[in-house]
C-alpha cells in the first residue's frame, strides 16, 4: 500500500512538472506573438494633444495607458472591426506599457478613473482640429475575469470616437519613446514635438496657457495668476525639455518672447537628432511592489507614490524610504507630522545620488570611457593572477611528486641558474639554508624552475585559458 502511494505521488509530480513546462512554453509562444513596442506608432489626433483636465489630475501613467487603448482601438478599426466597445487582455495592455511593477491595481485604478476624468480637448494650434465639448477620456470601462484571465472593455464618447480612431490631422508618436518618459510634462512635450517636427517649431502661446496641458492639473485661475514664470520654468519647462532631449529623437529648445521686461509667450524649437545620436534607455521608472508596500505602511498615499516616482525615479525612492522610516521611528527632535511632505523634502538629494550612481555605471559600460578601460584592465589582471596562482600550484604539485634525489638535483640546478642570473645573494642563502618551500623563496624558486622546464612563456596564458578562468571566477574580487 505504501509503495503504491509513493508511486502515485511520483507519477503526479512528474505530470505536474510536465504541465509546468508546457505552461512555460505556451507563455513563451504568447510572448513571442505580442508585438514589440519598438515597432508601434500611434496616430494621435491633434485635438487630443493638449487636453486639459476638468475633474481630476491626469498622471503620466494615465496618459500612457490612454495611448495604449487608442493604439489597440485603432488596430481594431484597421482590421475591419468597426465596434463601439473594444476589448483586450489586461496582460496585453501591461505589455505595451512596459510596466514592470507587480502592482497591477494601480493600472486598474487608472483605467476606471478615465470614465470620471473629464477633459477639454484642444490643439496647440489655435483653430486647428475639430471642436469637441468637454467629456470623459472614456465613455465606459469594465474590468472582468474570463477563464482565469483579466480582460478590459472600454469605449469612447460617440462625438469623438471617429476622429480618435481615424484622425484627419494627427501626430505620429513612437510608443517606445513614450514608454521611456516618466513625467507628464515630458510626455506632453514629446507628443507636441511629434506634431510639429516637420515645421521645426511649436505655436507661440502665452506661457500660462502651457501650464495646465503640460502638468495635467485641473485649471485654477487664481493659483495660475499668482504663479511666477521663473518657478514654472524651473519646475516644469526645463526638466521636461531635458527629459525629452535625453531619450527622444528630438533636440528641443525653449524659446521665450518678451513684452517689455517680462516673458509673455513661449514656444519650442524642434530639431531632429542624427540617427546615431538617438539612443533609448530602458524604462525602469515604476514603483516596485515592495517600495509601494513600505510607503503605504509609512502613510504615503498611492497617488503620491506614483507622482514621486514620476518626478525623481524609483531608485531614489528605494534609498529614501529607509531614511523616512528611521526619522518616523526616532521622533527626534520632534515627531514627523506629515510623512509625505518629509519624503518629498529629501527626494532631491536621493535623486542626485541615484543619477550619479547611474552615470558612473553608464561610464563603466561605455567601451571607450576611461572608467571602462580601467575596469577592463583590472578585470584582465585579476584573471591573469588567478591563472598564475593555479599554474604555480600545478608546478609545485609536480615538483613534490618527484623523488628526493630528483628534487635535490633540480634544486641545485635552480640555484646555479639563480647565481648565473645575478640574483640577490640573501635569497640564494635562504634557499640553501631553509629549502625551497620557505615563503620568502618559494615563488621565485618555482618560477625559475618552470622557466627552465617549460620555457620563457610558462607564465603566459592562452586566450582559451583566460576564458576558462573568467568563466570560473567572473568579477570576484573586483570593486
> What is the rounded average pLDDT of the residues 93-114?
76
* Residue 297 sits in the same domain as residue 399: no
Confidence of residue 130 (pLDDT cuts 50, 70, 90): low
* Residue 82 sits in the same domain as residue 160: yes
Question: Mean pLDDT of all residues in the chain?
Answer: 79
Contacts made by residues 459-467, CB under 8 angstroms, sequence distance 24+: 459/388, 459/391, 461/384, 461/387, 461/388, 461/391, 465/387, 466/380, 466/383, 466/384, 466/387
The answer to whether position 236 is within a domain reads yes
**What residues contact 239, with CB distance under 8 A and at least 6 apart?**
183, 185, 186
C-alpha cell recorded at residue 321:
524610504
Residue among 126, 123, 307, 132 at smallest CA distance from 216: 307
Q: Fill in the DSSP letter of residue 242.
A: H
Report how far residue 310's alpha carbon sits from residue 289's, in angstroms, rounded to the nearest whole number.
15
* Residue 297 sits in the same domain as residue 418: no
> What is the rounded average pLDDT of the residues 411-422?
85
The answer to whether position 192 is within a domain reads yes
* Residue 224 sits in the same domain as residue 249: yes
Q: Supply the CATH number for residue 91's domain.
A: 1.10.10.10
* Residue 141 sits in the same domain as residue 261: yes
Q: What is the pLDDT of residue 29?
A: 36
The answer to whether position 115 is within a domain reads yes
pLDDT above 70 (res 33): no
pLDDT above 60 (res 283): no
Q: Provide the domain count of the chain.
A: 4
pLDDT above 70 (res 103): no
Ranking 16-25, 278-287, 309-318, 394-403 by mean pLDDT, the lowest is: 16-25
Ranking 9-18, 352-361, 447-456 by mean pLDDT, the lowest is: 9-18
The answer to whether 340 and 304 are in contact (CB under 8 A) is yes
Q: Where are the beta strands (DSSP E) in 178-304?
A: 205-206, 250-259, 262-272
* Residue 396 sits in the same domain as residue 304: no
The answer to whether position 284 is within a domain reads no
Q: What is the pLDDT of residue 16?
A: 42
> What is the rounded average pLDDT of the residues 10-14?
47
* Residue 241 sits in the same domain as residue 302: no
The answer to whether position 181 is within a domain reads yes
The answer to whether position 247 is within a domain reads yes
Q: What is the pLDDT of residue 366?
A: 54
* Residue 61 sits in the same domain as residue 78: yes
**Which ranges constitute the DSSP H helices of 79-157?**
90-97, 105-116
The answer to whether 193 and 250 are in contact (CB under 8 A) is yes
pLDDT above 70 (res 357): yes
Confidence of residue 14 (pLDDT cuts 50, 70, 90): very low
Q: What is the pLDDT of residue 471?
A: 61
Report how far residue 334's alpha carbon sits from residue 329's, in angstroms, rounded to the nearest whole number.
11
The answer to whether position 371 is within a domain reads no
Ranking 282-286, 297-301, 319-323, 396-400 by mean pLDDT, the lowest is: 282-286
* Residue 67 sits in the same domain as residue 130: yes
Cell 571607450 sits on residue: 368
* Residue 104 sits in the same domain as residue 114: yes
* Residue 344 φ/ψ region, left for φ over 0, alpha for ψ in the -120 to 50 degree band, beta for the rest: alpha
The answer to whether position 372 is within a domain reads no
pLDDT above 60 (res 159): yes
For 167, the domain range is: 34-277
* Residue 91 sits in the same domain as residue 216: yes
Q: What is the pLDDT of residue 284?
A: 44
Identify the residue with better confidence: 254 or 26.
Answer: 254
Choose the final residue of a domain: 277, 306, 325: 277
Identify the residue with better confidence: 292 or 363.
Answer: 292
* Residue 132 sits in the same domain as residue 173: yes
pLDDT digits 0-9 by tens, 234-274: 999 999 999 999 889 999 999 999 998 899 999 999 999 87
Range with top average pLDDT, 35-39, 183-187, 385-389, 437-441: 183-187
**What residues contact 260, with CB distance under 8 A and at least 6 apart?**
none
Q: What is the pLDDT of residue 37?
A: 60
Amino acid at each position: 500500500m505504501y509503495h503504491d502511494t509513493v508511486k502515485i505521488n511520483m507519477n503526479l509530480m512528474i505530470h505536474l512538472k510536465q504541465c509546468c513546462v508546457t505552461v512555460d512554453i505556451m507563455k513563451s509562444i504568447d510572448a513571442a506573438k505580442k508585438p514589440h513596442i519598438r515597432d508601434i506608432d500611434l496616430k494621435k489626433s491633434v485635438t487630443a494633444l493638449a487636453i486639459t483636465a476638468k475633474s481630476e489630475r491626469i498622471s503620466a501613467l494615465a496618459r500612457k495607458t490612454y495611448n495604449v487603448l487608442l493604439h489597440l482601438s485603432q488596430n481594431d478599426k484597421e482590421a475591419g472591426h468597426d465596434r463601439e466597445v473594444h476589448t483586450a487582455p489586461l496582460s496585453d495592455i501591461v505589455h505595451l506599457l512596459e510596466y514592470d511593477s507587480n502592482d497591477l491595481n494601480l493600472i486598474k485604478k487608472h483605467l476606471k478613473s478615465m470614465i470620471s476624468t473629464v477633459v477639454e480637448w484642444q490643439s496647440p494650434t489655435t483653430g486647428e482640429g475639430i471642436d469637441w465639448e468637454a467629456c470623459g477620456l472614456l465613455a465606459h470601462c469594465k474590468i472582468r475575469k474570463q477563464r482565469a484571465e483579466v480582460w478590459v472593455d472600454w469605449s469612447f464618447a460617440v462625438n469623438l470616437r471617429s476622429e480618435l480612431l481615424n484622425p484627419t490631422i494627427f501626430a505620429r508618436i513612437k510608443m517606445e519613446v513614450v514608454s521611456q518618459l516618466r513625467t507628464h510634462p515630458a510626455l506632453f512635450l514629446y507628443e507636441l514635438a511629434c506634431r510639429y517636427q516637420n515645421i521645426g517649431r511649436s505655436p507661440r502661446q502665452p506661457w500660462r496657457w502651457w501650464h495646465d496641458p503640460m502638468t495635467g492639473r485641473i485649471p485654477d485661475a487664481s493659483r495660475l495668476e499668482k504663479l511666477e514664470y521663473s518657478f514654472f520654468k524651473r519646475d516644469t519647462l526645463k526638466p521636461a525639455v531635458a527629459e525629452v532631449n535625453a531619450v527622444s529623437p528630438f533636440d528641443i529648445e525653449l524659446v521665450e518672447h518678451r513684452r517689455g521686461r517680462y516673458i509673455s509667450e513661449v514656444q519650442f524649437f524642434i530639431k531632429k537628432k542624427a540617427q546615431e545620436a538617438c539612443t533609448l534607455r530602458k524604462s525602469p521608472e515604476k514603483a516596485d511592489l515592495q517600495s509601494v508596500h513600505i510607503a503605504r505602511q509609512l502613510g504615503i498615499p498611492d497617488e503620491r507614490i506614483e507622482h514621486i516616482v514620476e518626478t525623481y525615479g524609483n531608485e531614489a525612492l528605494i534609498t529614501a524610504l529607509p531614511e523616512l522610516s528611521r526619522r518616523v521611528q526616532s521622533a527626534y527632535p520632534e515627531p514627523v507630522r506629515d510623512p509625505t511632505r518629509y519624503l518629498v523634502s529629501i527626494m532631491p538629494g536621493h535623486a542626485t545620488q541615484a543619477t550619479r550612481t547611474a552615470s558612473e555605471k553608464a561610464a563603466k559600460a561605455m567601451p571607450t570611457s576611461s572608467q571602462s578601460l580601467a575596469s577592463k584592465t583590472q578585470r584582465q589582471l585579476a584573471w591573469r593572477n588567478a591563472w598564475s596562482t593555479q599554474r604555480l600550484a600545478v608546478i609545485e604539485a609536480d615538483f613534490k611528486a618527484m623523488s628526493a634525489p630528483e628534487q635535490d638535483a633540480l634544486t641545485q640546478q635552480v640555484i646555479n641558474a639563480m647565481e648565473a642570473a645575478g640574483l640577490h645573494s640573501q635569497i640564494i642563502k635562504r634557499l640553501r639554508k631553509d629549502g625551497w618551500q620557505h615563503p620568502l623563496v618559494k615563488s621565485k624558486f618555482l618560477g625559475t624552475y618552470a622557466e627552465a622546464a617549460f620555457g620563457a612563456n610558462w607564465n603566459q596564458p592562452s586566450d582559451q585559458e583566460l576564458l576558462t578562468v573568467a568563466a570560473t571566477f567572473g568579477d570576484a574580487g573586483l570593486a
